[in-house]
Amino acid sequence: MDDKELEDLLVKLEDRVRPKQSAMERHAQTVLAAVIVLLIGWVGMSITTMKEQQGELVTGQALSNLKIENLTENLEEQQKNYVRQVDFLAFRNQVERRLQELEK
């Protein structure tokens, strides 16, 4: 057997193993491949967008936590200087009574 005969034999075997596709099948495969590529691209873009949004949310949460810490510190500082109105009135009445006693 020469090379030409071997080549012909291989072509015949290929035709038996893998029948020729019709033009419609090839077009359908092309469309399906294009749809799959588009879906993969869309998923990639969606993931990228979600990662960006997640980064923004994490940054916003960190800023909110910092503001809460500052407000907590301010509140604690204010509570150190806070006097209830009832206590103030009692203290004022006590001072006024002492002044009245001294004036007598």
Task: Give the pLDDT confidence score for residue 79 in this predicted structure.
Answer: 83
| Residue showing tokens 């590529």 | 37
Residue 73 CA neighbour count, 13 Å, CB half: 6
pLDDT digits (tens, 9 = 90+) for 6-17: 888 887 777 666
Residue 18 confidence class, pLDDT cut points 50, 70, 90: low
The model's pTM is: 0.49
Instruction: Return all residues near 91 (Cβ < 8 A) that are at least 6 apart.
Output: none
Residue 77 to residue 11: CA distance in whole angstroms: 90
What integer pLDDT is reported at residue 7 of this predicted model?
Answer: 82
pLDDT digits (tens, 9 = 90+) for 57-102: 999 999 999 999 999 999 988 888 788 888 889 999 999 999 888 8
Per domain, the residue ranges of the chain are 22-103
